[in-house]
Structure 1
Amino acid sequence: MLSLATNGLLMLAVVLVVLSQPSRSPNSQPQPSYPLVTAGSSPPMDLGPRQKWTYDQWVAQLEREAAAAAANKPENLAILAGDSISLWFPAQLLPVGKNWLNQGISGETSAGLLKRLPLLDNTTPSVVFVMIGINDLIRGVPPEQILENSRLIIRDLLWAHPNAKVVLQSILPHSGPLATWEGRDRLLAIPNDKIREINRSLQAIATEENAYYLDLHPLFVDESGNLPLLFTTDGLHLNHQGYLVWRSALILFMQLQLNN
């Protein structure tokens, strides 16, 4: 019942967010998110165009940021773990009351995230939000492998951080034939119905592994089951409006689920 109530409130929040925001171009780019910031504050420093780094350079930088979080032990540490969709979450939109460590990497897969989780072992998060899987699908990874890796990610996080709450988030849909992302053909090869099926399995895995599940998918679909252009820059990544919806979902989820 609590889950159903939460979903209903999330849908209402989406409507309010959309109606309250000024009109924006679907192609307006979000500002980059910076690691380890107090939500609502300005980024502590300019880290430059990290999106142009190689994967190994990103991993090395995130290792340094995780080490800093481990050494400083900020209160109410919340971690975003995932791919570019997490990476580009604007720091100023992250829910207040927590110190956020962004551990997103552009192009990340479930296998890649699983491999680098030990970098977080010495941190002390209160909550870890995981979103992973779309790049696996783009690369042709079988759903069974995505699900198994997701299970192992949850287990690793719960083992390393027994006092933290682990939240597995659903994979977001794409915009189908309206997508303009450079890999559009690869997106079109992934039916959004398939993503919905995988999400149902992810929810079951989260329940089995004593983790939480945040179902964002219904908040990001139109009547055709695709990601609306209102929420995206290119049919795959989110724009400012999209992150506002995600922010609202995080706030309500933390209030209604994590705080009870």
Structure 2
Amino acid sequence: MKTKAIALLLTLLSLSGWAQQAANYESEIAAFEAADKATPPPANPILFVGSSSIKLWPGLSEAFPGKTVLQRGFGGSEVADVIKFSPRIITPYKPRQVVLYAGDNDIAQSKKTAREVYNNVLTLFMLVRKNVPGATFTYVSIKPSPARRQQMAVQTEANALIKNYLSGQKNTSFVDVYTPMLNAAGQPRPELFTADSLHMNAAGYDVWKQAIAPALK
């Protein structure tokens, strides 16, 4: 518990430095809230939240037949941004499951270490446990991409730290999309990505769909 408390304190203290960046996402968060007023969201959905890999997933709501899915990815967000906006994009929905993809941008944009990404994910996990105690928490591993080959070692370390922690917690799961997105040489498969070599195309999302589907409640 002491370790958890220290991780939470360190992350919360760091949030002040994210204030300006997080302000850039206000319009996207406000758009979610406006959409919810116009059309009430489903009760107790499986909530997909995180960065652009969630935001840009075409047909996510229809990708998992028989599951009630709500898509709430935004911008080039990092874990700290999801923490900041969690009172508005997680808690109000009372999700039965939170599926998080974030951490990729933390390493590439803010040069976070694997341990820093892990600490932020741990903080978000504890917030979800506090505010939506019955929700299953699912972390989708940081993906490898041709545009971010130089960060693969840090990505792998962060994934391992998060997977190890969640394996000891109840009502959690870790989805490995990293491994199936590598070729036989251990490099990102270029055919899974759009022209920017960072965001995924339909083939890339199909890999995600196959990996995530078994973890959904």
Residue equivalent to 2:6: none
Cα pair 1:151 1:209 within 8 Å, conserved = no
Residue equivalent to 1:225: 186
How is 1:229-248 mapped onto 2 (pairs within 5 angstroms)?
Answer: 229-233=190-194, 234-248=196-210
Higher relative contact order (CA 8 A, sep 6+): 1
User: What is the aligned-residue identity percentage?
Assistant: 23
1:111 equivalent in alignment to 2:72? no
From the CA coordinates, give the structure whose radius of gyration is larger.
1
How is 1:7-46 mapped onto 2 (pairs within 5 angstroms)?
Answer: none
Query: 1:219 and 1:135 mapped to 2: Cα distance?
Result: 20
* Deviation, structure 1 residue 103: 1.2
| Aligned pair partner of 1:216 in 167, 177, 189 | 177
- SS of the residue aligned with 2:157? helix
Cα pair 1:76 1:126 within 8 Å, conserved = yes
Query: 1:160 and 1:66 mapped to 2: Cα distance?
Result: 20
Residue type of the alignment partner of 2:135: A
CA RMSD of aligned residues (A): 2.1
How is 1:1-260 mapped onto 2 (pairs within 5 angstroms)?
Answer: 54-65=24-35, 72=40, 74-75=42-43, 77-91=45-59, 93-119=62-88, 120-139=90-109, 140-175=111-146, 179=147, 187-190=148-151, 192-210=152-170, 211-233=172-194, 234-254=196-216, 258=217
Q: How many residues align?
A: 189
Structure 1: unaligned runs, 5 residues or longer = 1-53, 180-186
Residue type of the alignment partner of 1:253: A
Query: 1:199 and 1:170 mapped to 2: Cα distance?
Result: 6
Structure 2: unaligned runs, 5 residues or longer = 1-23
- Structure number with higher helix proportion: 2
Residue equivalent to 1:50: none
Change (3 A) 1:188 1:172: closer
Cα pair 2:96 2:134 within 8 Å, conserved = yes
Query: 1:216 and 1:137 mapped to 2: Cα distance?
Result: 17
